[in-house]
Amino acid sequence: MAEEKNNEKKISELEEAKNKCDEYLNGWKRERADFLNYKKDEAERMSHLIKYANEGLILEILPILDNLCLAASHVKDPGIEQIKKQLEDFLKKEGIEAIETIGKPFNPNTMEAVDGEGEKVSEEIQRGYTMHGKVIRPAKVKITK
| pTM to 2 decimal places | 0.72
Consecutive H or E run containing 12? helix 2-51
- Dump pLDDT digits (tens) for 67-96: 999 999 999 899 999 999 999 999 999 999
- What span, in angstroms and rounded, lies between the C-alpha atoms of 132 and 141? 22
Q: What is the pLDDT of residue 6?
A: 83
pLDDT band at 140 (very low <50, low <70, confident <90, very high): very high
- Dump pLDDT digits (tens) for 118-128: 889 999 999 99
133: left (phi over 0), alpha (psi -120 to 50) or beta: left
- In three-state secondary structure terms, 113 is strand
Q: What is the pLDDT of residue 127?
A: 96
Q: What is the pLDDT of residue 34?
A: 95
Number of H helices, E strands in the chain: 3, 6
pLDDT band at 5 (very low <50, low <70, confident <90, very high): confident
- Dump pLDDT digits (tens) for 27-47: 999 999 999 999 999 999 999
Q: What is the pLDDT of residue 27?
A: 94
Phi and psi torsions of 94, nearest 5°:
-85, 5
Angle, CA 72 vertex, CA 139 and CA 106 arms, to 5° = 20
Longest dimension (CA), the chain: 110
**Length of the chain (residues):** 145
